[in-house]
């Protein structure tokens, strides 16, 4: 009712003073330059050899438990409905045994047209190389009907786990071997929440990767998570390591700088790790020299756990927010 709305406006007006300190300084707000976007306003773009309807990526999360299977299906379903890409969680458990395959076999759910990537840790890649089990890597990608393989590089996370794997070689060497062996496979390299510094980024950008996914510092932090899982002097002493890393803006700035002066062979970026909302994503994509989308893990997980309806509402609101941003906000 208009009268109720007017009364609510009077009651709430004094409580809603923005205060200068809260104005988001990243954008120019241009209210005169666009009509309201309608639901069908296209944000479509080509990305990683496919066509996305939203510049959004569902970042890798684990499978292999009954709950994870349902979460993965919900995530793949909204990817299909909204036209987003998806990275699977670590597929280590189905490398040699198909017990949990159904939790990861999401091609029929996401459909034939959107990017879907298998995922392995750098430690498994190292082991597969040393045991000459290349066929397990290519077999994984083909049994999942995936577009390619994401390799997560997580030396801190593994080190924080007393039972974690230990690397014998520098990850960059194993990644180079992987590319040499599979020159036609689409390969993405990512961190899992601490990002990467300029030397690692430069080394990756020289390689013909399909994408780098940031997994930047500022959101889910697996080293910190491991410290919550454990007690004892070792973990207490190691904890300062968990507070190191690179945010998504730091990483993007480094990549943009490197691209100005060096030849870059990597084709795309998935900007993830600590992306709070669509505005962070919109801003960082807009600043990127390379074609980019933004990715989130924990934000999707929270809604996916609550069921498909809540997940749909979350993604629909992100899409609306993005359309408004493209219509009215110019990146400074
Ligand atoms: C529950 C959970 C499980 C994850 N499992 C994996 C994994 O198996 N492989 C991987 O590459 N990254 C994994 N990640 C890391 C995410 O892909 C992402 O890089 C990181 O969480 C930062 O994103 P966020 O800040 O939006 O959560 C996981 C994240 C979460 C929250």
Three-state DSSP class for residue 209: coil
Say what angle helices 308-328 and 66-82 make with each other, to 10 degrees: 40
Burial class (CB in 10 A: 0-12, 13-18, 19+), 19: exposed
Alpha carbon of 295 to ligand 1 centroid (Å): 10
**Residues forming beta bridges with residue 331, ordered by sequence position:** 27
Q: Where are the alpha helices (DSSP H) in the chain?
A: 2-13, 66-82, 101-104, 107-110, 122-130, 134-143, 155-160, 171-181, 198-205, 222-229, 233-242, 248-261, 278-287, 298-305, 308-328
Contact 244, 188 (CB under 8 A): no
What DSSP line would sit under 259-270, residue for residue? HHHS-----EEE
Write phi, then psi, for 51 (nearest 5 degrees): -115, 115
Q: What is the pLDDT along the chain (332 residues), one digit of tens a residue?
A: 566 776 666 666 656 565 556 789 999 999 999 999 987 889 999 999 999 999 999 999 976 677 889 999 999 999 999 999 999 999 999 999 999 999 999 999 999 999 999 999 999 999 999 999 999 999 999 999 999 999 999 999 999 988 899 999 999 999 999 999 999 999 999 999 999 999 999 999 999 999 999 999 999 888 888 888 888 888 889 989 999 999 999 999 999 999 999 999 999 999 999 999 999 999 999 999 999 999 999 999 999 989 999 999 999 999 999 999 999 999 99
The pLDDT of residue 39 is 78
pLDDT at 162: 84
- Farthest-apart Cα atoms in the chain, separation: 74
DSSP state of 247: B
- pLDDT for residue 9: 66
Report yes or no: 326 and 278 within 8 Å, Cβ to Cβ. Answer: no
DSSP codes, 117-134: EEEEEHHHHHHHHHTT-H
Arithmetic mean of pLDDT over the chain: 93
Angle value at C-alpha 281, between 279 and 283, nearest 5 degrees: 70
Q: What interhelical angle do 134-143 and 122-130 show, nearest 10?
A: 130
Burial of 215 (0-12, 13-18, 19+ CB in 10 A): buried
Rounded Cα–Cα distance for residues 175 and 121 (Å): 11
Choosing from 56, 216, 220 the residue with most ligand 1 atoms within 8 A of its CB, the one to mutate for a pocket test is: 220
Looking at ligand 1, which residue's alpha carbon is closest to its atom 11? 152
Say if residues 213 and 272 touch (Cβ distance below 8 Å): yes
Q: Which atom of ligand 1 is nearest to the CA of 272?
A: 23
Pocket test residue of 56, 85, 89 for ligand 1, highest count of atoms within 8 A of CB: 89
d(CA 134, CA 132): 6
- Residue 231: strand, helix, or coil: coil
Closest by alpha carbon to 215, among 150, 162, 286, 138?
A: 150
Instruction: Read off the pTM.
Output: 0.95
The pocket around ligand 1, CB under 6 angstroms, is made up of 59-62, 89-90, 119, 152, 190, 192-193, 215, 219-220, 272-275, 296-299, 301
Tell me the Ramachandran region of residue 57: left when phi exceeds 0, alpha when psi lies from -120 to 50, beta otherwise.
Answer: beta
Task: Report CA(12)–ligand 1 centroid distance (Å).
Answer: 39
The CATH classification of domain 52-331, taken from the options 3.40.50.720, 3.40.50.2300, 3.40.50.10610, 3.20.20.70: 3.20.20.70
Q: What is the C-alpha separation between 159 and 108, in angstroms, rounded? A: 36
pLDDT digits (tens, 9 = 90+) for 194-214: 999 999 999 999 999 999 999
Dist. CA 209–CA 186, nearest whole Å? 7
CA 54 / ligand 1 centre spacing (Å): 20
Q: Strand ranges (DSSP E) for 7-72? A: 27-29, 45-47, 50-52, 56-58
Q: What is the distance between the alpha carbons of residues 308 and 319, in angstroms, rounded to a whole number?
A: 16
């Amino acid at each position: 009712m208009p009268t109720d709305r007017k009364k609510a406006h009077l009651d709430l007006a004094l409580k809603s003073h923005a205060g200068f300190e809260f104005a988001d300084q990243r954008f120019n707000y241009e209210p005169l330059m666009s009509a309201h976007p309608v639901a069908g306003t296209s944000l479509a773009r080509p990305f990683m050899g496919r066509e996305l309807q939203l510049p959004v990526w569902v970042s890798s999360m684990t499978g292999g438990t009954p709950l994870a299977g349902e979460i993965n299906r919900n995530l793949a379903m909204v990817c299909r409905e909204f036209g987003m890409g998806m990275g699977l969680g670590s597929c280590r458990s189905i490398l040699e045994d198909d017990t949990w395959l159904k939790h990861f076999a999401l091609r029929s759910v996401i459909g034939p047209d959107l990017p879907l990537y298998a995922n392995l840790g750098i430690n498994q890649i190292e082991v597969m190389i040393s045991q000459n089990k290349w066929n397990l890597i290519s077999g994984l990608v083909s049994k999942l009907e995936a577009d390619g393989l994401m390799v997560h590089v997580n030396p801190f996370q593994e080190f924080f786990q007393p039972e974690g794997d230990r690397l014998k070689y520098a990850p960059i060497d194993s990644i180079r071997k992987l590319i040499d062996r599979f020159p036609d496979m689409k390969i993405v390299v990512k961190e899992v929440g601490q990002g990467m510094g300029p030397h690692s980024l430069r080394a990756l950008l020289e390689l013909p990767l399909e994408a780098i996914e940031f997994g930047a510092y500022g959101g889910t932090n697996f080293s910190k998570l491991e410290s919550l899982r454990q007690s004892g002097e070792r973990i207490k002493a190691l904890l300062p390591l968990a507070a190191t890393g690179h945010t998504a803006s730091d990483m993007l700035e480094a990549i943009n700088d490197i691209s100005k002066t060096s030849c870059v062979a990597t084709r795309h970026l998935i900007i993830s790790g600590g992306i709070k909302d669509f505005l962070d994503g919109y801003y960082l994509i807009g600043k990127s020299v390379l074609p980019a989308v933004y990715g989130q893990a924990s934000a999707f997980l929270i809604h996916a756990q609550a069921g498909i309806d809540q997940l749909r509402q979350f993604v629909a609101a992100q899409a609306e927010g993005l359309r408004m941003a493209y219509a009215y906000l110019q990146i400074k």
